[in-house]
């Protein structure tokens, strides 16, 4: 696995973990909040060895070279985040070619949007710990536990959220990572990316640009694998199982007993096996 600087537009240079032949089918892996491209440190080399071209970027704000001023939250609008992902696929040599998309948490939100609006670009979709927005909205309204699980979305909008998250050497994030069984060495990698005022402010700008409204999207017409751990602290069973109602394509739901929100870090071999099986079933 190598690290590559990938420029998509002037002022946007992303740090990207890559492995495999650039001419092989692309697998683009998008991380979510409180982690980084290192979430996929076990997946990228395994995909490369299996005949794919795997690429996992630090996304907008997480990459120092792609960090617009987070005080201008419009620079973190979801439409720009989606464009980043599509531009990265093009910059990696796959403009006009179908590719496989993997999304976790916020990266999953972007992946749902891309699958809904640009299904012709994707050979397959793999979701990790992020239910379809329709299933998530329904769970927020009907599952008494889901609003509590998602309460951090609101306090991340508070003016003092960044210093709170950075306090005590990122104590809140370290505690959450440990509770979700992220290996300590991986936590250190993630915080090396995220644990500064500039990076944390940019990461929270994603939430502040969106607010508390999760916009609806169409049903998905791309072959989809959804992997959910039943110890996930942010996504309950209703939202996870309800995702099937919003897929109009081949669909597989896999529940991982005892696994939390960060399955690629916690059980990398299981995730690798599921991912490779799904990709091979739906070639680009």
pLDDT digits (tens, 9 = 90+) for 53-67: 999 999 999 999 999
What DSSP element (H or E) covers 152? helix 152-155
Inform me whether the pLDDT recorded for 267 exceeds 70. yes
Rounded to an integer, the average pLDDT of 85-102 is 97
Question: Rounded CA gap, 90 and 126, in Å?
Answer: 20
Q: What is the pLDDT of residue 65?
A: 98
Q: Residue 126 region, left (φ>0) first, then alpha (ψ -120 to 50), else beta? A: beta
Tell which CATH architecture fits domain 2-281: 3-Layer(aba) Sandwich (3.40)
Of 191, 209, 157, 171, the residue nearest 62 (C-alpha): 191
Q: What confidence tens digit (pLDDT) does each residue in 213-247 have? A: 678 899 999 999 999 999 999 999 999 999 999 99
Residue that the structure tokens 């099937």 belong to: 244
Confidence of residue 152 (pLDDT cuts 50, 70, 90): confident
What DSSP element (H or E) covers 18? strand 12-19
Inform me whether the pLDDT recorded for 282 exceeds 70. yes
Rounded to an integer, the average pLDDT of 185-193 is 98
Inform me whether the pLDDT recorded for 212 exceeds 70. no
Q: Where are the domains of the chain?
A: 2-281
Confidence of residue 148 (pLDDT cuts 50, 70, 90): confident
Instruction: Give 63-98 as a DSSP string.
Output: BGGG---TTSGGGG-HHHHHHHHHHHHIIIIITTS-
Of 32, 84, 87, 78, the residue nearest 60 (C-alpha): 84
Residue that the structure tokens 């795997």 belong to: 54
Confidence of residue 155 (pLDDT cuts 50, 70, 90): confident
Q: What is the pLDDT of residue 213?
A: 67
Structure-token pair, residue 274:
């599921």
Question: Rounded CA gap, 275 and 252, in Å?
Answer: 11
Residues facing residue 55 across a β-bridge: 18, 28
Structure-token pair, residue 8:
């998509």
Residues 6+ apart with CB under 8 A from 180: 231, 232, 233, 260, 261, 262, 266
Question: Rounded CA gap, 149 and 163, in Å?
Answer: 22
Q: What is the pLDDT of residue 154?
A: 85
Q: What letter would DSSP give residue 237? A: H
Residue 186 backbone dihedrals phi, psi, to 5 degrees: -70, -40
């Amino acid at each position: 696995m190598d690290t590559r600087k990938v420029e998509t537009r002037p002022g946007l240079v992303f740090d990207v973990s890559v492995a495999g032949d650039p001419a092989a089918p692309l697998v683009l892996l998008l991380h979510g909040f409180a982690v980084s491209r290192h979430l996929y440190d076990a997946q990228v080399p395994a995909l490369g060895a299996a005949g794919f071209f795997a690429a996992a970027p630090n996304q907008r704000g997480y990459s120092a070279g792609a960090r617009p001023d987070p005080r201008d939250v419009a620079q973190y609008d979801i439409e720009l985040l989606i464009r980043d992902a599509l531009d990265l696929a093009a910059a990696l040599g796959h403009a006009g070619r179908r590719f496989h998309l993997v999304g976790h948490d916020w990266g999953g939100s972007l992946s749902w949007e891309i699958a809904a609006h640009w299904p012709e670009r994707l050979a397959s979709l793999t979701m990790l710990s992020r239910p379809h927005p329709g299933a998530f909205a329904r769970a927020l309204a009907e599952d008494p536990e889901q609003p509590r699980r998602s309460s951090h979305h609101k306090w991340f909008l508070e003016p003092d959220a960044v210093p709170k998250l950075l306090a005590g050497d990122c104590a809140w994030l370290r505690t959450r990572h440990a509770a979700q069984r992220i290996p300590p060495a991986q936590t250190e990698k993630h915080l090396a990316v995220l644990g500064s005022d500039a990076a944390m402010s940019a990461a929270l700008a994603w939430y502040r640009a969106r607010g508390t409204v999760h916009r609806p999207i169409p049903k998905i017409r791309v072959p989809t694998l959804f992997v959910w751990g039943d110890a996930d602290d942010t996504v309950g069973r209703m939202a996870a199982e309800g995702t099937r109602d919003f897929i109009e394509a081949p669909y597989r739901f896999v529940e991982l007993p005892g696994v939390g929100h960060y399955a690629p870090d916690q059980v990398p071999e299981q995730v690798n096996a599921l991912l490779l099986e799904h990709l091979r079933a739906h070639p680009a």
